[in-house]
Amino acid sequence: MTVKAILSTKGNETVTIEPIASVAAAAKQMADRRIGALVVTNATGEVVGIVSERDIVRVIAARGGDALDLSVESVMTRKVVSCTEADTVANLMERMTTGKFRHVPVIENGRLIGVVSIGDIVKHRLQEIEHESEAMRDYILTA
């Protein structure tokens, strides 16, 4: 299975934030949208980082409530691991496990076209397992 299959059911919506936005604004957007990470893009739409709930927890633990006024760019991860639609889900799982992160932006020809989370992968994997067991049951019943 490829990333393309996941995006075909999930859609291409991506929630982004600008680097100069505050940590408070990022937290609010994550809470409102019920997501755990935002892709950080500059004025030309280029991906310049990723900020996740873990970055926010880390900076609040270190600096207290004052951290909410910091900019997103001061707490985000700049070296973003991305993928393309053609990447396999197995490969993505491996990258997430090795890198210890749960979100991967999908970039095609320099353009952000989606985000795949560990939750999306688990959901698809469960569906796959369900289909496999259904096929096995049908096979046994009709054999």
Alpha helices, H only, 64-88 = none
Residue 102 in the binding site for ligand AMP (CB under 6 A): yes
Query: How far apart are the C-alpha atoms of 20 and 10, rounded to whole Å?
Result: 29
Q: Is residue 14 close enough to count as binding ligand AMP by CB under 6 A?
A: no
> What is the β-pairing status of strands 37-41 and 16-17?
parallel
CB of residue 135 to ligand AMP, shortest distance in Å: 33
Strand 47-52, strand 103-108: pairing = unpaired
- Nearer to ligand AMP (CB atom), residue 90 or residue 136: 90
The yes or no reply on residue 115 touching ligand AMP (CB under 6 A) is: no
Encoded tokens for 117? 């989370």
Among 4, 36, 73, 87, binds ligand AMP (CB under 6 A): 36
Let me know the angle formed at the C-alpha of 33 by 80 and 104, rounded to the nearest 5 degrees: 20
User: CB of residue 88 vs ligand AMP: minimum separation in angstroms?
Assistant: 16
* Residue from 47, 55, 89, 116 binding ligand AMP (CB under 6 A): 55
Is 41 a residue that touches ligand AMP (CB under 6 A)? no
Binder among 5, 16, 19, 54 for ligand AMP (CB under 6 A): 54
**Cβ-closest position to ligand AMP:** 52
Helices (H), strands (E): how many in the chain? 5, 5
Alpha helices in the chain (DSSP H): 3-10, 23-33, 53-63, 89-99, 118-142
Which residue's CB is nearer to ligand AMP, number 43 or number 52? Answer: 52
Residues binding ligand AMP (CB under 6 A)? 36-37, 50-55, 77, 80-81, 101-104
